[in-house]
């Protein structure tokens, strides 16, 4: 069977591009005993992947070695199996990588129930959904009546954070990068308010929305939106750090944050990484499934077709041109 995969050729300075990958065409040969052959259907494009291709070993996962298939989450279907853990037709999720096919043993990928759409397993019932729920509810200890601010609010994680917050009875303000995204947050997702970090005065807007301060802040981007939130935290407020996409390509932040607010306001700051918590995904998906059934979670996918287009499509995350969860369709079901 013919396979195509993308392997990491060199490490980028700045943005990732097609020049950093080799396209490997190969014959997979017969399936070994104890293994299942997976046809990959979607691969997920996540901002963290920019960190995975850097040389730094000072992170929660080791760098992708040069010459290896690019690491990524994905969903696929079992094409053939010589393993008791998988049967043909099963849907699987996990670290598939940028490949059309892969052979896996027991435990390498998770079989998921076919009760939702395949696309749901990339988004709401995938890393973004788990990250949003865990960060807000477990790390954030979100409580009814609190004022919540989320940056990267129209993105894959951020849009779910805000909607889960609304479902739990919080007042929610989102910060995003275009008027279209802000309108979507307020008109379609029922956020209470939204600010455009490119055109609005964030400090003024946050003061108007939260005169008593922000009780709970969920950070996805860093830079000026983070600084504005830090300045407007309520005493004893909680800040949850999910990501800092504004610096992943090596850019410096424009303004140093007013760190004295952490002491003056007696804030609690907490960072977390969802890949530490794969064991909690099933329980979180039960909770998200309930909200989906109640029609409380809307979600959009931004899909590019063709694995070879993954390196270019990846940069939509940094241009802000992705409208929803960014993914690449590798094959039809």
Ligand X SMILES: NC(=O)c1ccc[n+]([C@@H]2O[C@H](COP(=O)([O-])OP(=O)(O)OC[C@H]3O[C@@H](n4cnc5c(N)ncnc54)[C@H](OP(=O)(O)O)[C@@H]3O)[C@@H](O)[C@H]2O)c1
Binding site for ligand X (CB under 6 A): 46-48, 127-128, 131, 152, 154-158, 176-178, 181, 220-221, 223, 242-246, 272-274, 317-318, 320, 322
Question: Smallest distance from the beta carbon of 224 to ligand X, in angstroms?
Answer: 8
Sequence-ordered strand ranges (E) for 73-115: 73-81, 91-95, 101-104, 110-112
- For residues 304 and 211, give the distance between their C-alpha atoms in angstroms, rounded to a whole number: 42
Give the shortest CB-124-to-ligand X separation in angstroms: 12
Residue 7 or 246: which CB sits closer to ligand X? Answer: 246
Question: Closer to ligand X at the Cβ: 10 or 275?
Answer: 275
Q: Three-class SS of residue 309?
A: helix
Residue 88 structure tokens: 């043909």
Of the two residues 24 and 269, which places its CB atom closer to ligand X in the complex? Answer: 269
Residue 331: closest CA among 88, 80, 46, 76? 76
**Closest residue to ligand X in the complex (CB):** 155
Q: Which residues contact 321 (CB under 8 A, 6 or more apart)?
A: none
Pairing of the two strands 233-241 and 214-219? parallel
Considering the complex, state which of residue 12 and residue 34 has its C-beta at the smaller distance from ligand X. 12
Q: For tokens 């293994």, name the residue.
A: 35
Least CB distance from residue 87 to ligand X, whole Å?
A: 30
Rounded CA separation 223/197 (Å): 10
The Cβ of residue 6 has, within 10 Å, a number of other Cβ atoms equal to: 23
Nearer to ligand X, 74 or 223 (CB): 223
- For residue 188, the minimal CB distance to ligand X (Å) is 15
Q: Which lies closer to ligand X via its Cβ, residue 111 or residue 272?
A: 272
Residue in the structure block whose two tokens are 């019932």: 125
Query: What is the C-alpha separation between 47 and 53, in angstroms, rounded?
Result: 11
Give min distance, CB of 171 to ligand X, in A: 20
**CB of residue 18 vs ligand X: minimum separation in angstroms?**
20
Instruction: Report the nearest approach of ligand X to the CB of residue 316 (Å).
Output: 7
In the complex with ligand X, which residue's Cβ is closer, 81 or 131?
A: 131
Give the whole-angstrom CA distance, residue 295 versus residue 85.
Answer: 34
């Amino acid at each position: 069977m013919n396979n195509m995969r993308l392997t990491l050729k060199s490490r980028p300075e700045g943005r990732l591009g097609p020049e950093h990958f080799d396209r490997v065409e190969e014959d997979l040969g017969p399936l070994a005993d104890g293994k299942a052959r997976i046809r990959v259907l979607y691969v997920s494009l996540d901002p963290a992947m920019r960190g995975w291709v850097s040389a730094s070993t000072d992170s929660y996962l080791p760098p992708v070695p040069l010459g290896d298939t690019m690491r990524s989450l994905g969903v696929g279907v079992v094409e053939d199996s010589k393993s008791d853990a998988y049967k043909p037709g099963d849907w699987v999720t996990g670290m598939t990588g940028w490949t059309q096919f892969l052979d896996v043993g027991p435990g390498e990928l998770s079989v998921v129930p076919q009760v939702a759409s395949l696309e749901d397993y990339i988004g709401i019932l995938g890393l973004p959904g788990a990250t949003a729920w865990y960060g807000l509810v477990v790390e954030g200890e979100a409580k009814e009546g609190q004022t919540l601010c989320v940056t990267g609010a129209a993105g894959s994680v951020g849009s779910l954070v805000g909607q889960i917050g609304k479902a739990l009875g919080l007042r929610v303000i989102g910060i995003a990068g275009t008027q279209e995204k802000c309108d979507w947050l307020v008109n379609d997702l029922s956020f209470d308010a939204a600010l455009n970090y490119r055109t609005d005065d964030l400090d003024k807007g946050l003061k108007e929305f939260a005169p008593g301060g922000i009780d709970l802040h969920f950070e996805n981007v860093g830079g000026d939106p983070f600084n504005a939130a830090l300045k407007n935290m309520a005493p004893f407020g909680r800040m949850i750090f999910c990501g800092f996409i504004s610096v992943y390509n090596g850019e410096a932040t424009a303004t140093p944050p007013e760190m004295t607010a952490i002491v003056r306001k007696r804030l609690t700051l907490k960072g977390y990484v969802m890949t530490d918590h794969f064991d909690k995904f099933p329980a979180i998906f039960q909770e998200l499934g309930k909200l989906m059934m109640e029609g409380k979670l809307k979600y959009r996918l931004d899909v590019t077709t063709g694995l070879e287009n993954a390196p270019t499509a990846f940069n939509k995350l940094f241009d802000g041109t992705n409208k929803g969860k960014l993914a690449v369709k590798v094959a039809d079901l």
